[in-house]
Structure 1
């Protein structure tokens, strides 16, 4: 079965200091409006548009907003050299972070502290990228899940439950 790279592209309300100039956070659901209106986001290797890994419009990338952040699931082409590279480097733990390319639509600034703080409450998302070092660091994630392994584990759990029910005389 296909290998999937998944994790969080953004965790809500987690701060990142951008270029030492200001602190940035995303409010919960900051991308929801844009994704509902224009959901064709791309997945790239290190923000390089000449190195695409997936796209919402072809079904190889899916995005969803939840209580934690913006979750993504990417199925790169395992027959393409770039897909193989992404699967290998995420699989061995070399690449573990994600970055996003966006334009803020609605933002709030607080200049009362030592460093200005920006809260983005609405933004347009253009792409997510697998990167070695992202601005949000370990608040983002990239990991491999193997669909066949997940399916096999689920099948084993179902079989174990059926056997337990058979032993108890429930089947």
Structure 2
């Protein structure tokens, strides 16, 4: 059974969405247990999966991008699972960008399965150490994981004021997560 996890923070600036679909070492409550994602949990999947999708609300009928075509780029860094989506010029893409610009999106999520030995349980605490990533999703409602982010970017040059605002927003996000 594929599991899904959701996280928050959505902003818009243009035709590209980028941010984090998952963050490491952030504990969240899932039903009757707590869960944390360990650094490196996505590494094997990113190396081995031929095609990971970017969806809306985990709906396979609402494809935004995919790694196979290059319109979705994924990587791990010290913070978590970073993504960049080239948003299509479709009704769905335009609607999402408009919602992101108004901060109306719920956040990001990811769908995954856990291979044998990929998680570790200690009482009611689960740590994901290795997952098979199937998709990431822009979610329009409520998140399960905090600390993820989504930003819409254009190819236009940013002004110094835009850069200062982005740094202030990033610092505010970091304070909220800590």
- Does TM, scored on the shorter chain, surpass 0.5? yes
- TM-score bracket, normalised by the shorter chain, equals 0.7 to 0.9
Runs of 4+ in 1 over 6 A off after TM superposition: none
1:39 Cα offset (Å) = 4.2
Instruction: Write the deviation string for residues 39-59 of structure 1: whole angstroms up to 9, x where unpaired.
Output: 411011111111111111111
Residue equivalent to 2:131: 123
1:17 aligned to 2:24? no
1:93 aligns with 2:103: yes
Between the aligned partners of 1:133 and 1:73, the Cα distance in structure 2 is: 21
Q: Secondary structure at the match of 2:29?
A: strand
Give 1:22-41 correspondences, 5 Å limit.
22-41=33-52
TM-score under structure 1 length normalisation: 0.79
Structure 1: runs of 5 or more not aligned: 155-171
Question: SS of 1:149's equivalent?
Answer: coil
Among 100, 104, 107, the residue aligned to 2:119: 107
Alpha-carbon distance in structure 2 between the residues aligned to 1:39 and 1:62: 12
Counterpart contact for 1:25–1:119, Cα < 8 Å: yes
Q: TM-score, normalised by structure 2?
A: 0.76
Measure the CA separation in 1 of the matches of 2:142 and 2:84: 19
CA contact (8 A) 1:96 1:143 kept: no
Give the helix-richer structure, 1 or 2. Answer: 1
Aligned-pair CA distance for 1:149: 3.0
Q: What is the count of residue pairs matched by the alignment?
A: 144
Q: 1:147 aligns with which of 150, 155, 163?
A: 155
CA–CA distance in structure 2, aligned partners of residues 73 and 50 of structure 1? 20
- Across the aligned residues of Structure 1 and Structure 2, the Cα RMSD in angstroms comes to 1.5
Gaps of 5+ in 2: 1-13, 161-178
